[in-house]
Amino acid sequence: MPRNALDGLLVVSLEQAVAAPYCTSRLADAGARVIKVERPEGDFARYYDTAVGDVSSHFAWINRGKESLIADLKEPDDRALLAKMVARADVFVQNLAPGAVRRLGFGSGELRHAHPRLITVDISGYGEGNSCSDLKAYDLLIQAESGLASLTGLPEAPGRVGVSVCDIACGMNAHAAILEALIRRERTGSGCSIAVSLFGSLADWMNQPLAFAEGTGVAPTRVGLAHPTVTPYGAFESADGMPVLISIQNEREWVQFCTHVLDDAALAGRPGFESAVARLANRPAVNALVAEHFRRHSTEALIGRLRAAGTAFGRVNDVAGLAAHPALVRVDVAIPGGSTFMAAPAAIFDGQASQFGPVPSLGAHSDKIREEFSSDPLVGASPANQGQ
């Protein structure tokens, strides 16, 4: 089913890599027209790998439904074309290197002055007005700088979250902010400028460990597939060597777990096991007892017991396990050189799978876009000779 909540909306995006393309792909999914402005060599994320047709796995994932325009913004004519497009646009998004759009004459202040209904979105690594503002920022760097890596991995070493979580968080925040700005514009008639950073996005997600550390004086530690403050909560191997992750969140669940999984209802009230606080203090003994019981049963037998107890559990899947998962919903998306059957966005509208536009080849829409905007007058900010 096509989604059309944003039909008629024009989004112009100077974007590359992940954060901005993630944001604009969600706008395109909802029916917005998204013109992706690419340098002559293309968004460098096109070439991260060769896993999906003629584009990378990253690019196929977050560029569906867009139009691709090749433009060299060092050239006055192409800056003039961009200025004409922005004059018509509802939303202008950019995540170029710090200061790059201002040097080209497309800073948000200039654009907002020239086009009061325009919503501008600046995506950066560290935000404006601090000593890190001019630094390049990539996902893993922000995972480290924000403290996330200090909480990720096994006790002996920090680790990286296995997907681009900083970029994704930033793109989600930008998407939500744009929708909020569109609602406000509908009420007031005025656009606004939005600034979103990778660091700020992850700092927000780090609020709980930050509050815990500042409130207790003790920083959370890396615990692998366990929980820093809840026991038992972690992965335990079955008799056939499969790790099964369990989570006990309250005393009712603990009693049921002891009764139906560990076959020992009295254990729930034993000293050292009788409360969440006691179990945390007695974590090694609790985990050892759970591990011993799990090793007595096959994975399928354990799952039957966990279901009977109402215990939250999960297999520790690999990517192949995800591909075969019964809850995975897929959508077919056309890409340069073929099609790909990718995981669907999480939101399902009216119980029906959405339909998505194709991933564009580099410059696929350049001629059409140039012809469309050729007769527009050059008005407002960013004249063609600016930025030289």
Per the CB < 8 A criterion, the answer to whether 356 and 333 are in contact is yes
Q: Kindly report the length of the chain.
A: 388
- Is 227 annotated in the active site? yes
Element containing residue 41 per DSSP (H, E): none
Instruction: Give me the residues paired with residue 124 across strands.
Output: 197
Tokens of 221: 């530690």
No. of H helices and E strands in the chain? 15, 11
DSSP secondary structure, 353-383, as one string:
----PPPPPTTTTHHHHHHHHTTS---SS--
Residue 247 to residue 270: CA distance in whole angstroms: 20
Nearest to 82 by CA among 367, 375, 370, 365: 370
Residue 14 to residue 260: CA distance in whole angstroms: 57
Residue 247 to residue 65: CA distance in whole angstroms: 40
> Which residue among the candidates 113, 115, 227, 325 is catalytic per the annotation?
227
Catalytic residues: 227
